[in-house]
Structures are given as C-alpha cells and as structure tokens.
Structure 1
Amino acid sequence: MYYPKAYQKKDKSYIFDFIKAYPFSSMVIQGEELLATHIPIMLEGNADEFKLIGHIAKSNPQFEYLKSGTEALFIFQGPQAYVSSSWYPHKDISTWDYSAVHINAKLIPRSQRQLEKDLKILVNHFESRQENPLYYQDLPRNLIEEHLPLILGFQAIPLKIQAIAKYHQKQSQETQIEVCKHLSKKKNTKEVAEAISNENRLK
C-alpha cells in the first residue's frame, strides 16, 4: 500500500471498527497468477487481537491455493470520491479522497462443522437488519446440506496491518469546508463529506 505518514491510521479500535463497517473485502492470493475474490468477512476476537473469518466456493480458482499457511492480502475500502480542485478557494490539483485497510494474513481452512457455525453468524448478522429477516436456522435443512460441501471456510490470522484515511488533512480548514459543501450535495458522496468533517474535526 502507498502509505504516506500524514494519512496513516494506527489505532487498533479504528481498524477493527472499519472492518465491521465495511466488511466486503477483496482477497488476493498468488497462484500461477494473482487471483482475487470479493467476499464478506467477519471478525473473531477484539480490537487488540482478531482473526478474519470467510469462505469461498470450491469452484473458485483460489480454492486449490487455499491451504494452511497460505498468505493472502485482504483489502477493505471505505468512503471514496473524486475531489475537484474547482471547489477550492485557490487553484490546485484535483485529487481523490479515500480510506482503506490492508491485511496480510495466514490462511487456515475451517472444518465443515465450524464453517456452518460461521455461516450462521454471517447470515444472522446481516439478516438482523432486514424488515422480515430469514435467519440461517430457518432455512430448509436439505438446502443447507446441499450447499455446505460446495464451499470452504477459513480463518485468516493477521501478519501485517496497514490502514489509511486520506481526507484532505493537509489542506486549510477553508478548503476542507468548501469540499464538504460540494460532496454533501450528492447522495453517493455524502459519506466522504462526513469522513472529511470527522477526520479534521470541522464544526
């Protein structure tokens, strides 16, 4: 990761909460070529010490490389948006604001029994937010038994963690406020405006 010191995030709670907030990850493994899969990841543990929990289809090309001890890179992305310098009170170069967490981790396959427990936690976590949730335990048992042999669960033990949040920290407060004003006008960039405001403690 390109990791400028001004944007580094070292706080363990920040990283833990970031993954909980943005759990859809890109998992990259070196096979005969670089292979990437986009999957939801759950956390096991706490901010001081945690593991990543996930699963992939056995038909996925990554499957043959997912063995105990294999290293993978997990990429989590937060709010991001293009920032036009036309919004600045002075002429400058346009940029992109974003946040991300990269975790290099050692993969360890899960047993079928543990996989089912993981799937129950994953499904129930996201179903709890639905208006009419369909929890894992309420799915037809025959459907679950047909599905389980087709996937492989794993845990990933972090080896290296890097987190970054580039939200106009180097710019003046006047510029930060102006950028937030423009980003807040669009539905899909409001979250970036909030991130800039929070990162720079704007009033």
Structure 2
Amino acid sequence: MYQPKKYQKKDSNYIYTFIQHHPFATLVLKGERLLATHIPVLVEGDAENLRLYSHIANHNEQIQHLTDGTEVLLIFQGAHGYVSSSWYREKDISTWDYSAVHVNARIKIQSTEELEQSLVNLVHKFEKDQEKPLWYKDIPSEIISDHLPLITGFWCEPFKIEGIAKLHQGYDSENLNRISKKLQERDDPMDSVLEKNIKAENDTKDR
C-alpha cells in the first residue's frame, strides 16, 4: 500500500475497529492471473492478536488456489469521495479522501465444524439488528445440509497489516469547514460518513 507518513494508521486498536466496521472485503490472490472476490470477512481475537475468517463458493475460480499456506491480500475500505479544489480558499489540486486497511495473510482451510461455527457467527453479526432476526439454528436443516458442501471456509493468518486514512490532515480550519460544508451539500450517504471522518481525524467538531 502507498502510505505517505502523515496518513499512516499503525494503531492496532484502530485497525481492529476498522475491520469490524467495514467487514465487506476484497480477497485477492494469484492464480493464472490475479483473482479477486468480494466477501464478508469477520475478525476474532483482539487488537494485538487478530485472526480473520470467511468462506467462498466452491465454483469460485479462486478455490483451486485456496490451500493451506496460500498468500492472500484482504482489502477493507471505508468511506471515500472526491474533494474539488474549487472548495478551497485558494487554488490548489483536487484530490480523493479515503481510508482503508490492507491485510497480507496466509490461508488455513477450516474443518467442517469450524466452518459451521463461522457461519453461526456471520449470521449473528448481521442478523442481530434485524427486527425479526433469523438465526443460523432456525434455518431448516435440509437447507444447511444442501449448502454446506458447496462452500469452503478458511482462516486468514495475518503477517502484515497496513492502515491509511487520507482525510485532509494538516489543512487549516477554514478549508476544513469549506470541505465539510460541500460534502454535506452533496447529500450522499457516503459523503456524510466521509465528512464525519474528516472532522474526527482533524478534531474539528467544535470549529
């Protein structure tokens, strides 16, 4: 990952929380060519000793390369957006603000029991806030038995983790307020999150 020093995020708690809040990741590995799949990825352990896990369909082209020890890259991305130079007090260069975490890891294939527990955890994470959640145990057993053989679960054991948040660090309060106002005016949900991230990063909440 390209990481100018002022945008680097090395704090393990930041990384851990970022992955928890942005679980839909891109899984990249090398086959006959570079292959990518977009999947939900969960994290377990703690900030200092985390492990990731997910699953893919067995008809996915990546599956033939997904074996113990395979190196993969997981990309987690936060809110991002275009920032026009026309928003600044003086002429400058337009840019793109964003945040992301890259995890280089090695694969360890899950047992059937581990895969099932992973699915229990996955369903719980995303169903718990539903009005009438459907838990894994409530899914008809015949559906489970039909689908389990069609997927492969795996652990991702990280060996390198990089974080970045390019959020107009170092800009003065006037320009930060101009950026904030323009992002609010665009009335886009992602711009709204990005605007909050810029404020939090630059401590502009009271400006």
* TM-score between both structures, scaled by the size of structure 1: 0.98
Aligned-partner Cα distance in 1 for 2:177–2:107: 43
In structure 2, the residue matched to 1:141 is: 141
**Residues 160-193 of structure 1: per-residue CA shift (max 9 Å, x gap):** 0000000000322211111011112223211000
Structure 1 residues not aligned, in runs of 5+: none
In structure 2, the residue matched to 1:14 is: 14
Runs of 4+ in 1 over 6 A off after TM superposition: none
In structure 2, the residue matched to 1:96 is: 96
In structure 1, the residue matched to 2:169 is: 169
Q: How many pairs were matched up?
A: 203
Aligned-partner Cα distance in 2 for 1:157–1:99: 22
- Which is further off, 179-188 or 22-31? 179-188
Aligned-partner Cα distance in 2 for 1:129–1:55: 22
In structure 2, the residue matched to 1:151 is: 151
Within 5 A, what are the aligned runs for 1:104-143?
104-143=104-143
Aligned-partner Cα distance in 2 for 1:45–1:125: 15
User: Tell me, what secondary structure is at the counterpart of 2:9?
Assistant: coil
Aligned-partner Cα distance in 2 for 1:11–1:163: 9
Percent identity between matched residues is: 50
Within 5 A, what are the aligned runs for 1:47-62?
47-62=47-62
Aligned-partner Cα distance in 2 for 1:143–1:103: 33
User: Tell me, what secondary structure is at the counterpart of 2:177?
Assistant: helix
Aligned-partner Cα distance in 2 for 1:154–1:180: 41
- Which is further off, 30-39 or 166-175? 166-175
Aligned-partner Cα distance in 1 for 2:78–2:139: 32
In structure 1, the residue matched to 2:72 is: 72
In structure 2, the residue matched to 1:190 is: 192
- Structure 1 residue 65: Cα displacement: 0.4
Aligned-partner Cα distance in 1 for 2:29–2:6: 29
Aligned-partner Cα distance in 2 for 1:38–1:173: 37
* Cα root mean square deviation, aligned: 0.7
